[in-house]
Structure 1
Amino acid sequence: MDFLQLPKRTSGNRRYGLTSIADFGTPFGQLKSILDDYGHIIDIAKIGIGSAYVTPNLQRKIDLYKEHGIKPYCGGTLFEKCYQQNKIPEYLSCLRRLGIEWVEVSNGTLDIPLKERLEIIAKAREHFHVIAEVGSKDSSLEMSISEWKEEMNLFLEAGCEYVITEGRDSGTSGIYEKGGSVKSDLISELIKDIDTKRIIFEAPTPKHQMFFINAIGANVNLGNVKLEDVLILESQRCGLRSETFYLEDCHANHLNQTPAHSME
């Protein structure tokens, strides 16, 4: 089908408009079937939490993702486990052997000093594309808006390709309230001052995804997307769902303001 006027989507080896899925143990055969149909609308694949360490057929999975042009990486929890046990060099060496070219530096479970995270990023950038996550998985820990902005800007200045806003796979911490609602005031401030093309917003449910699509546009970067939701998400991005039906080519104004960085 190619006759409707829809919001223009980025395509190919996208730099923004990314869909980053979370793989929490999809069996290899099932994954192959999913990617045969939907691989073209997936850009990044996070092998969730620390599951890569115990995943059967891990090398085959990594190779399969790469065959479909999808960038695989390991969840930040595995990075933090390696940090806790002073095994970061071994971890990075293992990633290189596996052919993984992306690494996440996170702070979701441990309280890793900012200076140390920046030092690890500087070292990892010698061989990897680096993504840094901002925010805690503990919903009782609050960061001020200025702290969010400071960390995100420092990571981007340090050479990270993207920064991820913590949301967990449940959507109940980081950029979300305990009950799952989006901290819209925080998002409003972040998109004023930081290039949204460099932010991956964790949005684990269609409800969360619709918020960011309406707030920023069809080509917002979204992470922690469930594999079974990737076609729903692409439909939402294209204005093919009631909640995004009137989506325009550039961006909507869900936050009652114009974001500083357009997404055309």
Structure 2
Amino acid sequence: MEFLNLPERTKGIRTNGITSVADFGTPMGELDHILADYGHIIDIAKMGIGSAYVTPKIKDKVKLYKEYNIRPYCGGTLFEKCFYQNKIAEYQSYLYKLGIEWVEISNGTLDIPIEERLNMIALFREDFHVIAEVGSKDANKEMSESKWKEEMKLLFDAGCEYVITEGRDSGTAGIYEKSGEIKSNLIHELIKDFDCNKIIFEAPTAKHQMYFIKEIGPNVNLGNVKLNDVLVLEAQRCGLRSETFFLEESECKLLL
């Protein structure tokens, strides 16, 4: 029975208000139980780093995610490994066989020039939905705000359906300082110039998630969410945690 006035959330197969989880090797039995309860509030599942390549029963895992209308894909590190070893054709074949329809083009580990990434996007777009990532996993590598915006524009113009802002699973690189503090000036610049519905902000901790919910709204796209945190995140989105308690119903329709 629903009786509270809560922020309005997107439903069904979402295109925004997305929760993208990071699966770093969740066993099949455990995953089955998690999805039975929380599958309806998970939209995308990244099989983190290059873990998909060594995951037992990976085809069964992909199938399980898809049974709950969750879009699975392999972490960008696997793409980068294949790029480094000139195995892109083999990677495409691997994704076909697994039934994976989404691919991430990233440069979190390798310094792949933007021109090369754009070529990869054009190649994969023929048969896959493409997500690209901006930012480095190396906390010592700094990108100017103008560089962030330049790359994001090029990636969107190339046809990426979403662009991820790098944050790592630790929240200490990319859009975050080494200390874990959010680069708020950068975020303000990005949301001023781009459609928030097309950006997935990596936000691995409750602190990071609440920042974006309060800054953008409950239907902000959030990534690198831990599987065991999805219910708490949904409660945060709905104003059911102290830090998001006073979200107004009107302002929460910002991204609908």
Task: With the length of structure 1 as denominator, give the TM-score of the two structures.
Answer: 0.95
Q: 1:96 to 1:234 in 2, by over 3 A?
A: same
CA distance in 2: counterparts of 1:92 and 1:37, whole angstroms: 32
Match of 2:19? 19
In the TM superposition, what is the alpha-carbon distance from 1:248 to its structure 2 partner? Answer: 2.2
Aligned residues: 256
- For the pair 1:126 / 2:118, whether they are aligned, the reply is no
Q: Is the 8 A contact 2:162 2:198 kept in 1?
A: yes
Question: 1:20-99, aligned counterparts within 5 Å?
Answer: 20-99=20-99
CA distance in 1: counterparts of 2:192 and 2:57, whole angstroms: 43
- For the pair 1:263 / 2:242, whether they are aligned, the reply is no
Q: 1:215 to 1:143 in 2, by over 3 A?
A: same
CA distance in 1: counterparts of 2:171 and 2:203, whole angstroms: 7
In the TM superposition, what is the alpha-carbon distance from 1:249 to its structure 2 partner? Answer: 3.2
CA distance in 2: counterparts of 1:249 and 1:129, whole angstroms: 33
Q: Is the 8 A contact 1:163 1:200 kept in 2?
A: yes
CA distance in 2: counterparts of 1:48 and 1:79, whole angstroms: 11
In the TM superposition, what is the alpha-carbon distance from 1:16 to its structure 2 partner? Answer: 0.2
Bigger RCO of structures 1 and 2 (CA < 8 A, at least 6 apart): 2
- For the pair 1:225 / 2:225, whether they are aligned, the reply is yes
CA distance in 2: counterparts of 1:251 and 1:141, whole angstroms: 36
CA distance in 2: counterparts of 1:249 and 1:175, whole angstroms: 28
Q: Output one character per residue of 1:223-244: Cα deviation in whole Å (capped at 9) or x when no partner.
A: 0000000000000000000000
Q: Is the 8 A contact 2:73 2:102 kept in 1?
A: yes
CA distance in 1: counterparts of 2:254 and 2:123, whole angstroms: 32
CA distance in 2: counterparts of 1:51 and 1:171, whole angstroms: 19
Question: 1:195-206, aligned counterparts within 5 Å?
Answer: 195-206=195-206
Name the amino acid aligned to 1:90: E
Match of 2:165? 165
CA distance in 1: counterparts of 2:8 and 2:251, whole angstroms: 11
Match of 1:140? 140
Local SS of the residue matching 2:150: helix
In the TM superposition, what is the alpha-carbon distance from 1:251 to its structure 2 partner? Answer: 4.1
CA distance in 1: counterparts of 2:203 and 2:150, whole angstroms: 22
In the TM superposition, what is the alpha-carbon distance from 1:250 to its structure 2 partner? Answer: 5.0
Q: Is the 8 A contact 2:175 2:186 kept in 1?
A: yes
Name the amino acid aligned to 1:126: E
Can you give the 5+ residue segments of structure 2 that lack an aligned partner in the other structure?
none
Q: Is the 8 A contact 2:5 2:249 kept in 1?
A: no
Task: With the length of structure 2 as denominator, give the TM-score of the two structures.
Answer: 0.98
- For the pair 1:213 / 2:205, whether they are aligned, the reply is no
Match of 1:110? 110
Name the amino acid aligned to 2:57: N
Name the amino acid aligned to 2:219: N
Local SS of the residue matching 1:224: strand
Can you give the 5+ residue segments of structure 1 that lack an aligned partner in the other structure?
253-260
- For the pair 1:100 / 2:100, whether they are aligned, the reply is yes
CA distance in 2: counterparts of 1:121 and 1:190, whole angstroms: 21
Q: Output one character per residue of 1:73-102: Cα deviation in whole Å (capped at 9) or x when no partner.
A: 000000000010000111011101110000
CA distance in 2: counterparts of 1:185 and 1:97, whole angstroms: 43
- The ranges of structure 1 where at least 4 consecutive aligned residues each deviate by more than 6 angstroms after the TM superposition are none
Q: Percent identity?
A: 71
Match of 1:255? none
Local SS of the residue matching 1:73: strand
Name the amino acid aligned to 1:27: P
